[in-house]
Structure 1
Amino acid sequence: MESVFANSYAKINLFLYVTDKREDGYHNIYSLFSKINLYDTIKVEKANKFQIICNNEKIPVDRRNFIYKVYEKLREYFQKEFPVKVYLNKRIPIEAGLGGGSSNCAIFLKLMNKLFNLNLSLNDMVQVLAKVSADAPSFLWDKGVLAEGIGDKIVATIDLPKSYILLVKPNFGVSTRQVYNNKNLKLTTKPHITNIHSLSNLNVLCELMYNSLEKPVFGNNKELIFIKKMMTEYGAVKSLMSGSGSTIFGIFNSKKSLDNAYKYFKAVNKSYFVYKTNII
């Protein structure tokens, strides 16, 4: 069977400013997305019917899945069937603020474009993905992506500093919908950045790192406050919650500090997902 294969990388939000609430109920954001070296794998194979096969039984494989939604958009757009089997091997934690589902559907679309020679342009793919998941378009690029709107308007792509990253996720997730509806969510003016490409400097980037969603999430989760505090105490030059949580990440200058923090979090709570990675 003819098939194609790719890695589907996770992301962190190096900053996330929630700037205003829209008439449609969504919020406008100003965010810097960065892919990190943690990934699911996706194989798409021509078959007799459409099917998603996943190694994680917690992942729905019906119309709730973003891959399924993109598949339906393709059928609708081209007015034809694309019978494929999709093998999704999940390694990215769910409800973690790491964009696993959004990454999966973006990579699936790229693979379908290749497998069936659909000749979809980058802009075409952005338009398809934006109808499924607000931050999915950011996964089409290999660089850092500065986005606004609901995350679907790409402002710039940026070469980001190659830093050591530690991820720590406790054994609970966070509902994005509930966070955005939380009464403690405060709107924030987006920062004035005179030179977008200055974000490739780690010191400049650290000064801008902020997440508007931390306050509403931290209000109910002392454990996340603890993780962020200890991340800094163990040498992170900056620590932040990614997206709507529940993952906390730290940026480290040295591998030694990274390793020390990793050992601490692995020992302090056996239920934590603790992962050493880097910006790619």
Structure 2
Amino acid sequence: MLTFANAKINLGLFLTEKRADGYHNLQTVFYPIKIYDVIELIDADETSCIVKGIDVPGAATDNICLSAFKMLQADFNLPQQQILLLKNIPVGAGLGGGSADAAFLIKLINDKFNLGISIAEMENYARKLGADCAFFIQNKPVYAFGKGDEFEKTEIDLSSHFLVLVKPPVHVSTAQAYANVSVKEPLQSLKKLTGLPLSEWKDIILNDFEPSVFAAFPQIGEIKAKLYEAGARFALMSGSGSSVFAIFDQSVQLPELEKENLVFYNI
């Protein structure tokens, strides 16, 4: 059996507090997009993970998919499986690709072996693997808070717009992004701000990672500026970077940005 694990973008990201457990409390809106990894489960004599496509830092034996499988195997006595992962979602891009892979694998395991795990239970398993991992279980736009694993429903729908994502050839590690970030309590909640018309988002919906990441990687800030020059209604770095997405009213082509970056259209 196989499944297609999609990426996400962050429609704003406020870092509000440093937690005692080392995480940060935050406010964000997770929004699923149409860039996909492919995951397949195959019966095997021993459990392993094979990764193809985009290079992923670290050994396949440390892949989050293998961690997810072994976590469920311990509780449900699952037979040995080979996990085949075809990576298409850019790495180090703030798109949640690893978290998506783990969450979609949990759902795939549940379906393949008829485990009958509820959505809430699958979300709890996913929370053990990463702060944004649980979002991908239901995979619908949500306002997220706490450390990014508590959710409230949001009615945001961008399907009538044209979304573009630009990934420069730089990798921003999450640890690097958090090292220089400023933490502050916002004047208004991101949930309220994202409920305002899109025309008002530009100056009020921010990503608190942008100042420090743009200082370290000026080309990311330049991409955001060029997207606005091309007519974007709204543009923002996703997560801790390095990708930048933009919302347009109609289809566009960005050949200048394609010269040095990966550009994904109609995501």
* TM norm structure 2: 0.91
The 3-state SS of whatever aligns with 2:247 is strand
The equivalent of 2:145 in structure 1 is 148
- Cα distance, 1:142 vs. partner? 3.7
Where structure 1 has 5 or more consecutive residues not aligned to the other structure, the ranges are none
2:231 pairs with 1:235: yes
- Cα distance, 1:12 vs. partner? 0.5
The 3-state SS of whatever aligns with 1:8 is strand
The 3-state SS of whatever aligns with 1:76 is helix
The 3-state SS of whatever aligns with 2:184 is coil
| CA offsets 1:69-98 (integer angstroms, 9 cap, x no match) | 1112112323x2431111111111100111
2:260 pairs with 1:276: no
Equivalent-residue separation in structure 1 for 2:94 and 2:249 (angstroms): 23
2:250 pairs with 1:251: no
Give the counterpart letter for 1:94 in structure 2.
V
The equivalent of 2:7 in structure 1 is 10
- Residue 255 of structure 2: which of 240, 246, 263 is its match? 263
Equivalent-residue separation in structure 1 for 2:200 and 2:54 (angstroms): 42
Give the counterpart letter for 1:231 in structure 2.
L
1:61-210 equivalences in 2 (<5 Å): 62-78=60-76, 80-162=77-159, 163-182=161-180, 184-189=181-186, 191-192=188-189, 198=195, 202-203=198-199, 209-210=205-206
Give the counterpart letter for 2:221 in structure 1.
I
2:48 pairs with 1:51: yes
- Cα distance, 1:159 vs. partner? 4.6
The equivalent of 1:211 in structure 2 is 207
Give the counterpart letter for 2:266 in structure 1.
T
The range that moved more, 118-127 or 80-89, is 80-89
- Cα distance, 1:99 vs. partner? 0.8
Please tell me the root mean square deviation across aligned C-alpha atoms, in Å: 2.1
Give the counterpart letter for 2:262 in structure 1.
F
Give the counterpart letter for 2:140 in structure 1.
K
| CA offsets 1:121-155 (integer angstroms, 9 cap, x no match) | 11111111111111011111242121111111112
Contact kept in structure 2, 1:166 and 1:277, CA below 8 Å = yes
Equivalent-residue separation in structure 2 for 1:8 and 1:212 (angstroms): 27
Query: CA 1:88 to 1:136, structure 2 compared with 1: closer, same or farther past 3 Å?
Result: same
Query: CA 1:204 to 1:123, structure 2 compared with 1: closer, same or farther past 3 Å?
Result: farther
- Cα distance, 1:20 vs. partner? 0.5
Contact kept in structure 2, 1:46 and 1:85, CA below 8 Å = yes
Give the counterpart letter for 1:276 in structure 2.
Y
